[in-house]
Chain A
């Protein structure tokens, strides 16, 4: 379940369909009635108009999305459509998961009964936390929609998941929240708190971004659902509320991190080796992000982190959360703090206690050597006489399919996977000769692909933006292009490269020879 690919939520599989229309209907009916009866215990008034209340604050969201084609970076893929549910929040905002609006070209809101429609735009989006806020064209849309309030879901709570029938009636499924855990979100590098419950869901037109309620208040938004195990992961209110506070700031800052990796210290042999005999907890810092928050705060590789903001850290890297009990310190750092805040930590360095302050900060995707995701943004490229130059990113590697880590060229995968180990600067980009559009200029080079570009005319290439300048000085009328691998060097006729441009545009239907943004 953790390895669910980015748009997995879209793929509610055929199995779900069978199950939904098969036997379990009675179960679901039971679930619905339980949902209603539980609400009833909260108070008679709520029980009578709860359905209407719910519906007031739910909208259907229809999205047409067109992702960029990283194998042909000048073009977009065929448009696809998604349908999801949005939840109206207080203050005229509509909450959906970020996956719903990824690469959106057109977004439309619909009332549950389908009578009211209104185009909308994305006001704020965080793909790491997988949350987005939508704004309709007109605020009139909110007149009859007061917005929901939040509630903190707890393990053991019974939560209702809302879906919509085609006719606009609500369909509730209900299940107990079993787990609160810090796990990966769809963007591979980001971990946040996730609530999990076991609930059989029926398949309906809109199965993304479903809201979860507890006693009429919003407990979270569905992140993903696994039809086989009936396990549903949701983004709990704590993460949503952090996002909303950040969304008020310009520019959007997002969830801050420490900028170091750590390792658990349960192993008693390791503890004795580290001299941790007298203590119970603490995690070992194994890697520092260069110029990252932890480094700025004076932390060092090899330090043992004992306490964050007054919370003791155990040997598994957990702290005791007031709501969720023992959960990973990741939640403490990223959800309970905001960008730029100084977090007090206590350390053990060579057996001596040390105190420090870490100015926590988010690591922006642009700061990676190989960007973990590129969404809503056109990939840069440069067509050099037919050689297609692109910047390496995980999005580029994902063109090789779900099994990209095995199918993509291994040396490129290795750069992406080990960027945390090898290149801590991460201010540079890796430029790749991805493929060749054969032309007069590229005779003999037709089969070159996925090769790392090192230099052009002796100038190191650390990003596509370095390319035009490097091309300004050909030696003896030829461009010398140095590659990592086979071949190590190729040459292009400078004048011929200029001359072939128009015919490349014409014969391959390119809109432009480059995009450098």
Chain B
């Protein structure tokens, strides 16, 4: 069994696609009393909305530009009195959102109230209360049984009006969520057709919502494989935002290894009872740092015995130990019984904050940060940057992949890359430095982009940038940079020479 992050911090390569949506809205009402009637499309339709999103994709190649606008659409539904639930990917990077109900010509302007990129859910609010006239919130159900029938409601491609497809529950499993690219949570696979535009739409069984359609495989990979976000994940999201802010999933940030081997058990001092999982690494920036050590054996989590393969039994299902932390919130704590140096001990780990370095995840609703100096573009390494720029330097792949396992973040909370050079006479000899990782400027270690900005604002004659590796330093004369400044600004149409705030919008 491969060791894995209990909550995955590493990118998951998968051909899963979130179903970016291209269609309608509808709103349906369903009557509260007769459950059978509630599954009637005419009733559900009243609580559905077609969401149109005009979004703006940030431009990581030219981060001073505002980015390209695009439109897409998806489905949302009324989850409580005046809240619409949908997928995060339906409303990511939104600049302007409108909702449409069936049999209502009006377009209602909406705003994102809460967005959870780690579990692909979002709550919208609507400015005009008239939107909710005649809508009835849909009820949340539980986890449907395998092989039972479910109906998917939404506005997928292929037509303008409400579409309903039907299928059975195929399986319930921990699966990667393609939106963030690094998170895995409980998902339910169904064989009903789910297509672009279905995203965010409710999946109903016996009149209750049992999931939100959100991703699937494109047709050349698999047939009739669609995924929905089950209600435990939806409920967790709704509970998390109850206090007005979304605090994200809590992450133990440790890796474990099975204790199936008898010699391993003997060496660790474990009795022959198939219990306990070996901790192989503990991220020093994670919540378990200081509470759990590599080499410890986790015997129990919150009183649940951990088996030698790292699973616990919850509600009659054997499931990854991670699920215990999945159900927690910021401020909660988790109890562990550990075996350390052959002695048992109890520890209580406060879940203070979510994992602080999300650079390996797809990021949304943020502006690219950068510093431009003498035509040199410095940017922090991130999944967003790597997916926009094709770098050749294998060192960058290493820094990205090893960022958590090798704790690169300790010295480089941000890995600063000289990602591009806007050609000018003052940097004509500097091409060899492209794609280099900055180590220090004028002998001061560079840990974040702010350090770069500060170093370049000091009045020194020479700016000496050292890159990781054994090359020469990059030298820029202040006088040369200043004389070139206006020239570079005009030539390349730079509105701003730096942006240090990801949330600047």
For residue B324, CB closer than 8 A to chain A, the reply is: no
- Minimum Cβ distance to chain A for residue B74 (Å): 35
Given A286-B472, A477-B266, 12 extra CB contacts under 8 A:
A261-B470, A263-B471, A270-B472, A286-B471, A413-B398, A414-B398, A443-B262, A444-B261, A444-B308, A445-B261, A485-B281, A487-B280
**From B266, B395, B475, contact of A417 by CB (8 A):** B395
Contact residues in B for A270 (Cβ distance below 8 Å): 429, 472-473, 475
* A:478-517 near B, CB below 8 Å: 478-480, 485-493, 496
**From B402, B475, B480, contact of A411 by CB (8 A):** B402
Count, chain A residues at interface, CB 8 A: 45
Residues of chain B touching chain A, judged by Cβ–Cβ distance below 8 Å, are 1-3, 255, 257-264, 266-268, 278, 280-281, 294-295, 308, 394-395, 397-398, 401-402, 405-406, 426, 429-430, 462, 464, 469-473, 475-477, 480
CA distance A485 to B473 in the complex (A): 33
Binary flags per residue of A324-346, CB closer than 8 Å to B gives 1, else 0: 00000000000000000000000
**From B259, B469, B473, contact of A421 by CB (8 A):** B469
Contact of A488 with B281 in the complex, beta carbons under 8 Å: yes
Contact of B295 with A490 in the complex, beta carbons under 8 Å: no
Contact of A442 with B261 in the complex, beta carbons under 8 Å: yes
Contact of B267 with A491 in the complex, beta carbons under 8 Å: yes
CA distance A442 to B475 in the complex (A): 54
15 sampled A-B residue pairs with Cβ under 8 A: A267-B429, A270-B429, A273-B464, A410-B394, A410-B402, A411-B398, A413-B398, A418-B469, A486-B281, A487-B3, A487-B257, A488-B281, A489-B278, A490-B261, A491-B263
Chain B residue with Cβ nearest A485: B405
Residues of chain A touching chain B, judged by Cβ–Cβ distance below 8 Å, are 261, 263-270, 272-273, 284, 286-287, 405-406, 410-411, 413-414, 417-418, 420-421, 441-445, 447, 476-480, 485-493, 496
**From B263, B426, B476, contact of A478 by CB (8 A):** B263
- Minimum Cβ distance to chain B for residue A444 (Å): 3
Residue from the set A267, A406, A447 with the largest chain B CB neighbour count within 10 Å: A267
Q: Mostly helix, strand, loop or mixed at chain A's interface?
A: mixed
Chain A residue with Cβ nearest B461: A273
Contact residues in B for A405 (Cβ distance below 8 Å): 394
- Minimum Cβ distance to chain B for residue A56 (Å): 49
Contact residues in A for B406 (Cβ distance below 8 Å): 411
Residue from the set A284, A406, A421, A489 with the largest chain B CB neighbour count within 10 Å: A489
Contact of A287 with B260 in the complex, beta carbons under 8 Å: no
- Minimum Cβ distance to chain B for residue A463 (Å): 23
Query: What are the 4 tightest A-B residue pairs by CB atom distance, in nearest-first order?
Result: A491-B267, A444-B260, A263-B472, A267-B429
CA distance A444 to B471 in the complex (A): 44
**From B263, B464, B476, contact of A441 by CB (8 A):** B263
Chain B residue with Cβ nearest A266: B429
- Minimum Cβ distance to chain B for residue A121 (Å): 40
Contact of A421 with B470 in the complex, beta carbons under 8 Å: yes
CA distance A442 to B262 in the complex (A): 9
Residue from the set A267, A417, A485, A487 with the largest chain B CB neighbour count within 10 Å: A487
Contact of A491 with B268 in the complex, beta carbons under 8 Å: yes
Contact of A486 with B397 in the complex, beta carbons under 8 Å: no
Contact of B266 with A491 in the complex, beta carbons under 8 Å: yes
Contact residues in A for B3 (Cβ distance below 8 Å): 486-487
Chain B residue with Cβ nearest A420: B470
Contact of A444 with B259 in the complex, beta carbons under 8 Å: yes
Given A261-B470, A263-B471, A411-B406; A493-B263 close (CB under 8 Å): yes
CA distance A261 to B472 in the complex (A): 10
- Minimum Cβ distance to chain B for residue A262 (Å): 9
Contact residues in B for A421 (Cβ distance below 8 Å): 469-470
Contact of B280 with A486 in the complex, beta carbons under 8 Å: yes
**From B258, B264, B402, contact of A414 by CB (8 A):** B402
Contact of B280 with A488 in the complex, beta carbons under 8 Å: yes
- Minimum Cβ distance to chain B for residue A436 (Å): 11
Chain A residue with Cβ nearest B374: A269
Contact of A478 with B429 in the complex, beta carbons under 8 Å: no
Contact of A491 with B261 in the complex, beta carbons under 8 Å: yes
CA distance A400 to B258 in the complex (A): 28
Contact of B1 with A447 in the complex, beta carbons under 8 Å: yes
Chain B residue with Cβ nearest A274: B475
